[in-house]
Chain A
């Protein structure tokens, strides 16, 4: 896998500096988990900033540490007051203070116990439902992550196929351009003249309307022969087409689903001559 285009894009640097938008940052994170080379590059970039920071270190005044540690203590004693315990204490005091008789005390105590139990069960119930929500959230994010991974893996494998086809000397690549000069639609065909093997990369073609489908043709002396239908399910991957021999030109038409035995010139989308 050639990762140099990702490494050289400058995106990894932006990621470490926190300058990438969230969706792009998530992509970098996924790539880093897939490829150790990316992770290494990210580490080297981060280490550069860390080395810069260490080189420029300035010792703070002693009082700063005291202030920091004091504010931590203040915060943690705040959070030690758990609401459930507080409720019980207050009720006990309020009821117990004005009465002396044993039975009233006993009643008060059992009220206290009841409130305590109530508080405890409410606390446990809340905790339990929070855990359930946490688990659900975790499951959801892991599903989203897997989906993203699958999409990415597919993209990478399609990119790899493209690179392999493009660099294969036995294949002739033919760019198919739009018939209208102002429209920037195109596709690329890879053809092995010797074996007749034929591939198409339709990823830059526009989405087809419902009920329609792209059909590939090859032409010899102006006479078109069907080279197969382009799969609708995945326009982003490279597809293998019918065997083709002696082609002088390739063309794609937009036909009704299933295709036609002969093309309609009005339905022509892109075309290209074999160089």
Chain B
């Protein structure tokens, strides 16, 4: 453990401590991690899988995966929360591509689910009923679709370029511009 301690300099103390304890197989640390992040991770998963029971199964798989793979997380290369979000996304995307998921009629298809979670209220609904939980709604329609494909549907740059019929370079530019908008809206400095 001696040399890993040197790598921990960029992270906050709590995160460092948590990761250290997880690496030592401390189940109490896992319990704390769950209390702190499970809600946010379920939110990410439910952007991809709308059925709550299925989404909770994926959350469980995600947590076990975090526990089993914590040794491959490198604090010098990234942030714990982002690393976990990416595991949750990948686990969800894998799930939507699995046979069992596609065969279950109660699960709406990936396309449907993503659209459902982004339905804008019908005319007449008051502004405060707008789905404030959907942070992608801060983006103009075209960029929202693109970010949804990239972030929640696991499309590659090339696939997005083909699907939306825009050049590869434009995909990158639009992703960056979307992030700049979101940064402001979500108050990230």
Contacts and interface: CB of A to CB of B under 8 A. Distances in A.
A214 to B, nearest CB: 32
A65 B183 contact: no
B53 to A, nearest CB: 9
A247 B16 CA distance: 63
A58 interface: yes
A67 B42 contact: no
Contacts of B68: 75
Contacts of A11: 172
A62 to B, nearest CB: 11
Specify the main secondary structure of chain A where it touches its partner: helix
B82 A16 contact: yes
B42 A50 contact: no
B27 A73 contact: yes
A18 B42 contact: no
Interface stretch (B32-40, B95-103, B104-112, B121-129): B32-40
Contact of A13 (B39, B46, B81, B179): B179
B184 to A, nearest CB: 10
A86 B134 CA distance: 54
A14 B133 CA distance: 23
Contacts of A39: 10
Residue from B10, B41, B42, B89 having most chain A Cβ neighbours under 10 A: B42
A18 B186 contact: no
Contacts of B76: 33
B188 A68 contact: no
B24 to A, nearest CB: 12
A54 interface: yes
Contact of B46 (A9, A32, A50, A58): A58
A71 B79 contact: no
B188 A44 contact: yes
A59 B30 contact: no
Contacts of A69: 27, 30-31, 34
Interface string A74-85: 011000000000
A72 interface: yes
Q: How large is the interface on B (under 10, 10 to 19, 20 to 34, 35 or more residues)?
A: 35 or more
Interface in A26-44: 29, 32-33, 39, 42-44
B59 interface: yes
Contact of A68 (B10, B60, B133, B171): B60
A64 B151 CA distance: 25
B182 interface: yes
A58 B90 CA distance: 18
Specify the main secondary structure of chain B where it touches its partner: helix
A60 B56 contact: yes
Nearest to A7: B176
Nearest to B44: A53
Contacts of A71: 60, 64
A56 B176 contact: no
Contact of B67 (A8, A16, A18, A72): A72
B136 to A, nearest CB: 8
A141 interface: no
A51 interface: yes
A46 to B, nearest CB: 4
Interface in B33-82: 34-35, 38-44, 46-47, 52, 56, 59-60, 63-64, 67-68, 76-79, 81-82
A110 interface: no
Given A61-B52, A68-B30, 15 more contacts: A10-B171, A14-B172, A18-B86, A18-B89, A44-B188, A46-B78, A48-B183, A50-B79, A50-B82, A51-B186, A52-B182, A56-B40, A69-B31, A75-B64, A76-B27
